[in-house]
Amino acid sequence: MKKIILGTFAFMLFAYVSNAQVVVKVMPMTPVVKVVAPPRPGPHHVWIDGHWIWDKRMNNYVWKEGYWAMPRRGRNHFVAGHWDNVPGGVKWVPGHWVK
């Protein structure tokens, strides 16, 4: 628990906003809790793993739990979010649907 708190503090300490992108020097840690997906609600639903999202109100990344989603029309494959190396640190690239 201490590591999570310290990691979150370090993340908040080194986060800054530049050109509407958030670049951090230290990535937040992925929560250690593994969530077992609930039963699939339908044959076409796709499980989206938990991931980081930017919360403008909190001015920080927050963890969003995994969930079932229906593919968007014409797009049937979900690319999971990931961290990209950028000048000055890393930034989170949100998951998205592709053809």
Residue where the block lists tokens 């609930």:
38
Name residues whose C-beta falls within 8 Å of residue 21's C-beta, 6 or more positions apart in sequence. 86, 91
Per-residue model confidence (pLDDT) at position 46:
92
CA nearest to 80, candidates 61, 70, 90, 66: 66
Question: What would the pLDDT profile of 10-59 be if each residue is shown by its tens digit?
Answer: 444 344 333 356 677 776 676 666 778 899 999 999 999 888 787 889 88
Domain ranges of the chain: 2-31+40-98
DSSP character at residue 83: E
For residue 98, the cross-strand partners are: 77
Per-residue model confidence (pLDDT) at position 33:
67
What is the distance between the terminal CA atoms of the chain, rounded to a whole angstrom? 40
Per-residue model confidence (pLDDT) at position 8:
44
Per-residue model confidence (pLDDT) at position 63:
84
